[in-house]
Amino acid sequence: MNQSALHQQRFEAIEAWLLGTMPRPERERFEADLARDPGLRAEVDLQRENMLAVELGGLRNAMRAIAADDAPAQRDARAGRPLLLRYAAAVAVLLTVAVWWAARPTADERLFARHYVADPGLPVPMSVPPAGAGVSDDPVFHDAMVAYKLGDHAEARAKWAALLPAAPTNDTLRYYIASAALAEGRAQEALPLLQAVAADGGSVFNAKARWYLFLVHLRSGDTAAMDTVGLDDDPVYGERVRAIKSGRE
Amino acid sequence: MDGLRCNDPAVLRALYKQHFPSVRAHVLKNSGTVTDAEDLFQEAMAVLWLRVKDGAMKEGSEAGAFLFRVAKNKWLDQLRSASHRHMRVVPIEHIPENPVEETTATEERLARLREVYANMDERCRNVLGRFYFQREDLATIAAAMGVEEDSIRTIKYRCMMKLRAFRRRINGGDEPIRP
């Protein structure tokens, strides 16, 4: 057995055998392989230990949660908190409310929040795709897409940004770096990338880029810039754009 | 033992409720704090859990006595350390003294497993923990994390391959795996 790589199908067979979920005929074949292949036995041992490592981490977290639930002494201590501390807590709450009131979002920011939904991302292939000419064949691109879909937008943006110097005009990269930046609340970083894709009439991301560009301008209250995006008659976004504009009037 | 083997949360909670108070009482009587007792109990639980996983605990073994013995021995070790040398330990008559060597190998193995776990990033801990510890299926994990099932399957595979690469590195390439 090849010791340097473990194909996903082989890994899942070992996993199923260790978890006891492998069907009987397959299990018998696997156990026959196991009896004659020392490499496979070593691989099974390694995967068993790695699964145990994961479970041990889970056990630690579970026991900590149980101990935290079972802390009446701490609850008692909170109940008996001195009066002065209670006043301090009340003042802190009032201060928090005051700060929130001063920094509350503008009407345009609230409209943005109501209409902004992060791009769901592209499907991720099951196995690592072979290296090819396109940037979306790059395994790093898909790693970043997995991070993006899991909400790790900063990680996704950093991975995609590292690919950009090799393909500086790639619309897929530009669009998804902008999407990650927008999801992080970094609208100003997303702006030039969205503008570049919005100006690229041949891009499949053109209409989506213009929609997010429109939202970025809405967020900053820039009515003139919103009008330049020109999505009013778009079959997908036109109705929403017109409703937002009429709502602001 | 079956409940512990499959990480049943009800069994973990029952073991804590039933046996933590005696460990806490012993530690508090011997100059320790509640936090010391919680740390000790965690450690004793990990030793018991690993021995159950390895099939090294006989059916019908008294989990409570085992947990107390491991915790007591570990606390004795700590009391013998420099910072606690002046403290007096209250003797316990009713617990039979068993050799502690049996747990030493287990503790060394636990340290190696923790090293592997420490090498994982938060995303891998989350996905792998849900799958291998909580025994959730891929569809449940995918729904909870708002992604497709295939993405979770891919993440799980890649995370396990990262652990494999780490283990192979610390084991020196194709050396046999140290359990």
Distance from the Cα of B87 to chain A's closest Cα (Å) equals 26
A128, with CB counted inside 10 A (0-12, 13-18, 19+), is middle
A-B CB pairs within 8 A amount to 127
DSSP state of B91: P
pLDDT in tens, A220-231: 888 989 989 888
User: B64 to chain A, minimum CA–CA distance in Å?
Assistant: 16
Q: For residue B176, what is the nearest residue in chain A, using CA coordinates? A: A42
Interface of A with B in 66-85 (CB under 8 A): 66-67, 70, 73
Cβ neighbours for A205, distance < 8 A, ≥ 6 positions apart: A171, A172, A175, A197
- How far apart are alpha carbons A43 and A34 in whole angstroms? 10
**Is the pLDDT score of A219 beyond 70?**
yes
pLDDT of residue A32: 95
Does B38 have pLDDT greater than 70?
A: yes
**A56 touches B46 (CB < 8 A):** yes
Q: What is the pLDDT of residues A45-83, one digit of tens each?
A: 999 999 999 999 999 999 999 888 877 654 454 455 566
Asked if B174's CB is within 8 angstroms of A8's CB, the reply is no
Cα–Cα distance between B161 and B164 in angstroms, integer?
Answer: 5
Cα B155 to the chain's mean position, in Å?
Answer: 25
**Contact at CB, B45 and A8, closer than 8 angstroms:** no
Task: State the Cα–Cα distance between residues B123 and A12, nearest whole angstrom.
Answer: 20
Residue in chain B closest to A38 (alpha carbons) equals B176
Higher pLDDT, A202 or B82: A202
Q: What is the pLDDT of residues A1-15, one digit of tens each?
A: 445 678 899 999 999
**Chain A residues whose beta carbon lies within 8 Å of the beta carbon of residue B177:** 42, 45-46, 49
Report CA B83 to chain centroid distance, whole Å: 26
For chain A, give the percent of residues with pLDDT over 90.
43
ipTM: 0.84
Beta strands in B88-156 (DSSP E): none
Q: To the nearest 10°, report the CA torsion of A142, A145, A149, A152.
A: 120
Model confidence at A121: pLDDT above 60: yes
- Closest CA of chain A from B86, distance in Å: 29
Residue A169 has pLDDT above 80, yes or no: yes
A140 or B139, greater pLDDT: B139
pLDDT in the model for residue B94: 46
